[in-house]
Structure 1
Amino acid sequence: MSENVRAKAQETLALVDEVNAMVLSDPKAADAVTPLSQADANLGEEIRSRMDEIDMTDTQSIISFGSGAQTELQEISQAMLADVRNKDVGPAGDSLRSIVSTIRGFSVSELDVRRDRSWWEKLLGRAAPFAKFTAQYEKVQLQIDRVTEDLQKHEYTLLKDIKSLDLLYEKTLDFYDELALYIAAGTEKIKGLDEADIPAKEAEIAAAAEQDQVMKAQELRDLRAARDDLERRVHDLKLTRQVTMQSLPSIRLVQENDKSLVTKINSTLVNTVPLWETQLAQAVTIQRSAEAASAVREANDLTNELLTSNAKNLRDSNKVIRQEMERGVFDIEAVKQANADLIGTINESLQIADEGKAKRAKAEEELQKMEKDLRDTLASAKSRRDGVGDTSGTSVPKA
Structure 2
Amino acid sequence: MKSSIATRPGNSLVTLDEGELRKLGLTAADLAEISQVAMRIQPENPLTVSEFGRDVGEHTSRYADSLLDQVRNRDLDVAGEKLSAVVHVAKRMNLGVLSDKRSRLPIVGPLVDRIRLRSGRIVGEFDSTRQQIDSLVREVEATQSGIRERNAGLEDMHVGVREEHRLLGIHVAAGKMRLAEVRAQLVQLREGGQGDIQAAHEVADLETVATNLEKRINDLMVLQHSALQSLPMIRLIQSNNQMLADKFHTVREITVPAWKRQFMLKLTLNEQRNAVELADTIDNTTNDLLKRNAALLHRNSVETAKANQRLVIDVDTLREVQTTLIKSVEDVIRIHHEGIQSFRQAEAQIESMRSDLQAKLSRTPAAGTVSYQEAA
Query: What is the DSSP-based 3-state SS (H/G/I as helix, E as strand, rest coil) of the residue aligned with 1:263?
Result: helix
Which of 126, 139, 146 is the matching residue for 1:150? 139
Question: How far apart are the structure 2 equivalents of 1:72 and 1:249?
Answer: 19
* CA displacement at 1:99 relative to structure 2: 0.8
1:277, distance to aligned residue in structure 2 (A):
2.2
Q: Deviations over 1:144-189 (max 9, x none)?
A: 0111011011101111111111111121121112221111111111
Q: Give how far 1:257 is off.
A: 1.0
Q: Secondary structure at the match of 1:91?
A: helix
CA contact (8 A) 2:49 2:213 kept: yes
CA deviation after TM superposition for structure 1 residue 75, in Å:
5.2
User: Which of 90, 96, 116 is the equivalent residue of 1:103?
Assistant: 90
The one-letter code matched in structure 2 to 1:224 is E
Shift of 1:80: 6.9
Query: How far is the alpha carbon of 1:74 from its aligned partner?
Result: 4.8
Tell me how far apart the structure 1 counterparts of residues 258 and 27 of structure 2 sit (CA, whole Å).
60
CA distance in 1, matches of 2:75, 2:228: 32
1:164 to 153, 162, 165: 153
Q: Give the CA deviation at 1:283.
A: 3.8
**Contact 1:73/1:168 (8 A) holds in 2:** no
Corresponding residue for residue 244 of structure 2:
261
Distance 1:80 1:227, change over 3 A: closer
**Map of 1:140 onto structure 2:** 129
In 2, the alpha carbon distance for the partners of 1:32 and 1:249 equals 23
Q: Give the aligned residue type for 2:54.
A: S
Alignment of 1:319-338 (within 5 A): none
Alpha-carbon distance change, 254 to 78 in structure 1, aligned in 2, over 3 angstroms: same
Rounded to whole Å, the distance in 2 between the matches of 1:137 and 1:266 is 22
2:202 corresponds in structure 1 to 219
2:31 aligns with: 44
What is the CA–CA distance in structure 2 between the aligned matches of 1:71 and 1:172, rounded to whole Å?
A: 12
Alpha carbons 1:35, 1:188 under 8 Å: kept? no
Matched letter for residue 53 of structure 2: G
Map Cα deviations across residues 318-367 of structure 1 (whole Å, 9 max, x no partner): xxxxxxxxxxxxxxxxxxxxxxxxxxxxxxxxxxxxxxxxxxxxxxxxxx
From the superposition, tell whether residues 89 and 228 of structure 1 become closer, same or farther in structure 2 (CA, over 3 Å). closer
**Aligned twin of 1:205:** 193
**Cα distance in 2 for residues equivalent to 1:256 and 1:159:** 11
TM-aligned CA distance change 1:39 to 1:242, over 3 Å: closer
Name stretches of at least 5 consecutive residues in structure 2 with no aligned partner.
1-18, 104-115, 284-376
User: Residue 49 of structure 2 aligns to which amino acid in structure 1?
Assistant: I
What does the per-residue CA deviation read over 1:124-144, in whole Å, with 9 as the maximum and x for residues that have no partner? xxx974344233212211210
Rounded to whole Å, the distance in 1 between the matches of 2:170 and 2:83 is 47
Q: Counterpart in 2 of 1:60? A: 47
Partner Cα distance (2:250, 2:82) in 1: 14
C-alpha separation in 1, matches of 2:23 and 2:72: 42
| Structure showing greater relative contact order (alpha-carbon pairs closer than 8 Å, 6 or more residues apart) | 1
TM-score norm. by structure 2 comes to 0.56
Instruction: Please show how residues 113-124 of structure 1 align to structure 2 within 5 Å.
Output: none
User: For residues 282 and 39 of structure 1, do their structure 2 counterparts lie closer, same or farther at Cα, with a shift above 3 Å needed?
Assistant: closer
TM-score normalised over the length of structure 1: 0.53
Q: Are 2:215 and 1:232 aligned? A: yes
Partner AA of 2:233 in structure 1: S
Cα 1:33/1:56, change in 2 over 3 Å: same
CA distance in 2, matches of 1:199, 1:89: 59
Q: Do the aligned partners of residues 173 and 54 (structure 1) sit closer, same or farther apart at CA in structure 2, a change above 3 Å counting? A: same
Could you say if the C-alpha distance between residues 189 and 34 of structure 1 is closer, same or farther in structure 2, counting changes exceeding 3 Å? Answer: farther
Could you say what secondary structure the match of 2:141 adopts?
helix
Structure 1 CA distance, aligned partners of 2:93 and 2:27?
A: 68
Q: Is the 8 A contact 1:80 1:164 kept in 2?
A: no
The 5 Å alignment of 1:238-257 reads 238-257=221-240
**Counterpart residue number, 2:21:** 33
The one-letter code matched in structure 1 to 2:56 is A
**1:228 shift after superposition:** 0.6
Query: Partners of 1:231 and 1:268 in 2: how far apart?
Result: 56
What is the number of equivalent residue pairs in this alignment? 252
Distance, in Å, in 1 between the alignment partners of 2:65 and 2:227 is: 16
Shift of 1:265: 0.6
Runs of 4+ deviating beyond 4 Å? 71-90, 111-117, 284-291
Q: Distance in 2 between matches of 1:279 and 1:115?
A: 27
* Structure 1 equivalent of residue 368 of structure 2: none
Which residue in 2 is equivalent to 1:187?
Answer: 176
Contact 2:64 2:230 in 1 (8 A): no
Q: How far off its partner does 1:287 sit?
A: 5.8
Q: Shift of residue 35 of structure 1?
A: 8.7
Q: How does 1:346-361 map to 2 (within 5 A)?
A: none
